[in-house]
Chains A and B, each alone.
Chain A
């Protein structure tokens, strides 16, 4: 795998989701709130009526709460907590897309996990001798799960299917073939 900084950057950008949308939205909201506070302060300083609420009255109401204000404050607090949790989760989660990096000598090679999954399903179907629609697979990260519906009366050997899938996936990249789970359904289809 070429490890030039450009390739590494491209790989990282392709596999991980960008956080710029969340950052942009958060910053716009922050800028709006700051602008509002600034506007209200200026309006009060020059003795004009406030746009929404006078900051002084808002603070006074917050310090001497009545019933209506408490409910409003609670609702706002809940909304802010939810927003904060969402932002923290967005910031801390790896934000992986459904793509994987493939080792290659030149350039950055990214592969969609759907391709891995359908490759696995195809290999499993061929190994088990079932029609195309009877084998399905899901791939997530390096884990691949294969589900085979056998043809009635033809037993399917799980280990054979697993080996075939491992062989085929190793052709893509050796890491894909490491964690494979094969599930053979008990009930088969006639044809």
Chain B
């Protein structure tokens, strides 16, 4: 990524940084602690492919919510990194209760 025509050099984002960012975004949208969310990054014909594994906050209609979460994670990641995000695959592993997430 170029900083601009006037600034020599280049800004690079490492894969690790991208992964941590995706993890934070996914945890925020899922309402789960980041510790329990795993994210894998891949390449789907030139765009970022997200692979999220983690629990979701308790509530009704989990399936619809996770679909929305996938969309939100995609757009937020795209917004934060300035890159195209092609797909977000979410694998739910459990449910986080409100009380549980408040305990620090």
Please say whether chains A and B are actual partners in one complex.
Answer: yes
Between-chain CB contacts (< 8 Å), 17 pairs: A129-B10, A131-B10, A151-B83, A152-B46, A152-B47, A152-B48, A153-B46, A153-B78, A153-B84, A153-B86, A154-B83, A155-B84, A187-B46, A189-B43, A190-B18, A191-B12, A191-B13
Q: Residue on B with the closest CB to A152?
A: B43
Option from A129, A154, A190 in Cβ contact (under 8 Å) with B41: A190
Q: How far is the CA of A23 from the CA of B66 in the complex (A)?
A: 78
Partner-A contacts on B (CB < 8 A): 1-2, 10, 12-15, 18, 41, 43, 45-48, 78, 81-86
Mask for A178-191, Cβ within 8 A of B = 1, else 0? 00000000111111
Mask for A142-171, Cβ within 8 A of B = 1, else 0? 000000001111110000000000000000
Where chain B touches its partner, the secondary structure class is mixed
What are the residues of chain B within 8 A of A150 when measuring CB–CB?
46
A153-B47, A153-B81, A187-B45 are contacts. A129–B2 as well, Cβ < 8 Å? Answer: yes
Q: How far is the CA of A126 from the CA of B1 in the complex (A)?
A: 9
Taking residues whose C-beta sits less than 8 angstroms from the other chain, chain A's interface range is 10 to 19
Q: How far is the CA of A131 from the CA of B78 in the complex (A)?
A: 20
What are the residues of chain A within 8 A of B84 when measuring CB–CB?
153-155
Q: Residue on B with the closest CB to A126?
A: B2
Min CB distance B68 to A, Å, is 22
The answer to whether B15 and A190 have CB atoms under 8 Å apart is yes
What are the residues of chain B within 8 A of A191 when measuring CB–CB?
12-15, 18
Min CB distance B19 to A, Å, is 9
Top 6 nearest A-B pairs by Cβ distance? A153-B83, A190-B15, A153-B48, A191-B15, A153-B84, A152-B43
Q: How far is the CA of A4 from the CA of B86 in the complex (A)?
A: 61
Q: How far is the CA of A6 from the CA of B48 in the complex (A)?
A: 58
What are the residues of chain B within 8 A of A129 when measuring CB–CB?
1-2, 10
Q: How far is the CA of A129 from the CA of B13 in the complex (A)?
A: 12
Q: Residue on A with the closest CB to B43?
A: A152
The answer to whether B46 and A186 have CB atoms under 8 Å apart is yes
Q: How far is the CA of A186 from the CA of B44 in the complex (A)?
A: 9
Q: How far is the CA of A151 from the CA of B43 in the complex (A)?
A: 9
Q: How far is the CA of A191 from the CA of B42 in the complex (A)?
A: 11
Q: How far is the CA of A189 from the CA of B42 in the complex (A)?
A: 9
Q: How far is the CA of A126 from the CA of B43 in the complex (A)?
A: 22
Best-surrounded residue of A150, A154, A187 (most CB of chain B within 10 A) = A154
The answer to whether A154 and B1 have CB atoms under 8 Å apart is yes
Q: How far is the CA of A191 from the CA of B83 in the complex (A)?
A: 12
Min CB distance A34 to B, Å, is 67
